[in-house]
């Protein structure tokens, strides 16, 4: 019995792209890797102008349908290689076939398909169920960089990898995943390549966590939602993990102007907006004063408190802007957040961390022992941040303070 291999011949920008890529040796290799035998027949699908959305090859054999996503043959864009696989994932999830597999195959290529960002993407694909057929035989020397070829084992590992890729690529800040003590938060754009990454983040979170997942989709222009296929995939996985609470909030986040009390969930949306803006400006959750990186106990701490902002002679729009500004905050662990909110710890207009003298010496020594930084990082000390410090300190007595170190 022969396997049946079906594919559309044309790429979205290049005619006969896949007819040229899928030579007999490649088809034979895909056939062997998916069916464990080498006999096949080829069917060229010219429907819908033959455009191969998803760089997809179907292999059918003995009642099993094998989805095979092909890599790029040229590494020309940071996201291009990973745009196709989530599209195929949506198709795979929607397919009602009882016997099916999901696979990724590297065609011969030039350039680096194993950048840090792409390695992160491949691990995401492995986590949602992709099997990488021939990665051990890739000839491109860059594959050696991808040493950890396993799915993510925990949400913490996924978040750490994501943070690592952002540190190495400052422009890669379009979407974020983090968590608090009671939920996982995903901040995802609804446009460009990031919309597919958002799907992978959501499904991976279902697989890796037992806590509620909140997906905040960032609207821009007319792009108000994730693609219907992505929403359908997320809904299907939600059925698979019924114990999980999952919410989708469509919001412009930092572009929103939500008045207090306008909507029942306006406070939640403003909290999400503030968190997003801190992630966008400062980076991953890490206490600015002790270095703690346990996301469940790291919080966004306002410099100019919201209670003071509400009293200011400002419009509602201006109050919202200040309350959610990424410049009006720090990441602090719960202990340092409380010390800061009670003004036991203060920041002066130069960014120096100060300690009030109005506490017992024994308590001073304890605070000094758990506070590793005596000045806020230069990265954070924007003119806007320092102005928020001035606004905060106007109502405080900062004459009886000492240096933290």
175 Cβ partners below 8 Å, 6+ apart? 186, 187, 188, 189, 194, 197, 198, 201
Residue 103 CA to residue 129 CA, distance in Å, equals: 8
- Please provide the average confidence, as pLDDT, over all residues in the chain: 87
Task: Work out the pLDDT band at 204, boundaries 50, 70, 90.
Answer: very high
Token pair of 306 as six digits: 């919201």
Q: What are phi and psi of 330, to 5 degrees?
A: -140, 155
Lowest mean pLDDT among 120-134, 199-213, 299-313: 199-213
pLDDT of 324 higher than 70 = yes
Q: Where are the domains of the chain?
A: 3-151, 153-251, 290-405
pLDDT at residue 11 in the model: 86
Average pLDDT over every residue of 60-64? 97
Decide: helix, strand or coil at residue 384. Answer: helix
Average pLDDT over residues 209-218: 86
Over residues 18-50, the pLDDT tens digits come to 999 999 999 999 999 999 999 999 999 988 777
DSSP string, 3-66: EEEEE--B-SSSTTHHHHH--HHHHHHHHHHHHSS--EEEEE--GGGGB-TTSEEEEEETTEEE
Reported as a single tens digit per residue, the pLDDT across 346-358 is 999 999 999 999 9
Supply the DSSP string of 105-168, one letter for each residue: EPPS-BS-S--HHHHHHHHHHHHTT-EESSGGG--SGGGGG----S---SHHHHHHHHHHHHHH
**Of 234-238, 355-359, 371-375, where does mean pLDDT reach its minimum?**
234-238
pLDDT, position 224: 61
Tell the burial category of 325 from Cβ atoms under 10 Å away from its Cβ (0-12, 13-18, 19+): buried
User: What's the CATH number of domain 153-251, 3.40.50, 1.10.357, 2.60.40, 3.30.750?
Assistant: 3.30.750
State the DSSP string of 68-115. EEEPPSB--STTHHHHHHHHHHHHHHH---SSEEEEEEPPS-BS-S--
- What pLDDT does residue 175 have? 79
Q: Please report, rounded to a whole number, the percentage of residues in the chain having pLDDT higher than 70.
A: 90
Mean pLDDT (whole number) for 63-89: 85
Q: In what order do the strands lie in the sheet with 40-44?
A: 40-44, 3-7, 56-61, 64-70, 100-105, 131-132
The pLDDT of residue 260: 41
Calculate what percentage of the chain has a pLDDT beyond 90: 58
310 pLDDT higher than 70: yes
> How confident is the model at residue 80, as a pLDDT?
65
* DSSP per-residue letters across 260-282: TTSSTTHHHHHHHHHHHHHHHHT
pLDDT of residue 328: 97
Q: What is the pLDDT of residue 259?
A: 44
> Out of 25-34, 143-152, 217-226, 294-303, which region has the weakest mean confidence (pLDDT)?
217-226
Of the listed ranges 185-194, 275-284, 343-352, 379-388, the least confidently predicted one is 185-194
Residue at token pair 């806590």: 211
| Average pLDDT of the segment spanning 220-235 | 74
Q: 109 and 142 in contact (C-beta within 8 Å)?
A: no
What is the C-alpha separation between 231 and 326, in angstroms, rounded?
29
Answer yes or no: is pLDDT of 222 > 90: no
Cα 136 to Cα 120: distance, rounded to the nearest angstrom: 17
Task: State residue 310 phi and psi, 5-degree precision.
Answer: -65, -30
**Residue 320 host element (H or E):** helix 316-324
Token reading at 384: 């806007």
Higher pLDDT: 256 or 121? It is: 121
b/e code 96-125 from CB counts within 10 Å (16+ = b): eeeebbbbbbbbebeeebbbbbbbbbbbbb
> What are 239-273's pLDDT values in tens digits?
777 777 888 877 766 555 544 444 545 556 678 88
Contact 175, 146 (CB under 8 A): no
Between these two residues, 48 and 175, which has the higher pLDDT value?
175
- The token pair that represents 200 in the structure block: 């992978």
pLDDT of residue 192: 65
pLDDT number for residue 99: 96
């Amino acid at each position: 019995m022969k396997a049946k291999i079906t594919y559309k011949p044309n790429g979205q920008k290049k005619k006969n792209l896949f007819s040229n890529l899928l030579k007999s040796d490649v088809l034979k290799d895909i056939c062997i890797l998916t069916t464990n035998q080498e006999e096949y027949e080829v069917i060229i699908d010219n429907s819908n102008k033959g455009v191969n959305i998803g760089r997809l090859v179907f292999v059918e054999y003995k009642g099993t349908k094998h989805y095979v996503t092909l890599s790029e043959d040229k590494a020309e864009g940071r996201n291009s290689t990973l745009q196709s696989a989530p599209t195929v994932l949506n198709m795979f999830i929607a397919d009602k076939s009882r016997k099916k597999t999901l696979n990724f195959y590297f065609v011969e290529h030039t350039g680096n398909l194993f950048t840090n960002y792409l390695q992160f993407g491949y691990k995401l694909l492995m986590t949602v169920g992709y099997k990488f057929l021939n990665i051990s035989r890739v000839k491109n020397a860059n594959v050696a960089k991808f040493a950890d070829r396993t799915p993510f084992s925990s949400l913490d590992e996924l978040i750490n990898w994501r943070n690592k890729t952002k540190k190495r690529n400052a422009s890669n800040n379009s979407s974020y995943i983090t968590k608090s003590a009671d939920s996982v938060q995903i901040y995802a754009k609804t446009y460009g390549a990031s919309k597919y990454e958002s799907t992978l983040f959501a499904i991976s979170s279902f697989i890796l966590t037992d806590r509620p997942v909140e997906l905040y989709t960032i609207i821009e222009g007319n792009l108000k939602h994730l693609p219907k296929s992505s929403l359908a995939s997320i809904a299907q996985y939600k059925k698979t993990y019924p114990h999980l609470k999952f919410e989708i909030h469509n919001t412009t986040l930092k572009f929103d102007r939500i008045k207090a009390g306008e909507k029942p969930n306006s406070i939640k949306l403003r909290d999400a907006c503030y968190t997003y803006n801190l992630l966008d400006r400062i980076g991953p959750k890490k206490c600015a004063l002790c270095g703690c990186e346990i996301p469940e106990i790291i919080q966004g701490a306002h410099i100019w408190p919201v209670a003071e902002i509400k009293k200011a002679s400002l419009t509602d729009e201006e109050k919202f802007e200040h309350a959610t500004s990424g410049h009006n905050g720090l990441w602090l662990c719960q202990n340092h957040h409380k010390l800061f909110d009670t003004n036991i710890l203060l920041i002066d207009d130069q960014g120096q961390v100060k300690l009030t003298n109005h506490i017992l010496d024994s308590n001073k020594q304890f605070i000094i022992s758990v506070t590793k930084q005596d000045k806020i990082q230069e990265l954070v000390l924007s003119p806007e941040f320092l102005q928020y410090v001035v606004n905060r300190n106007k109502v405080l007595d900062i004459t009886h303070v000492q240096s933290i170190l």
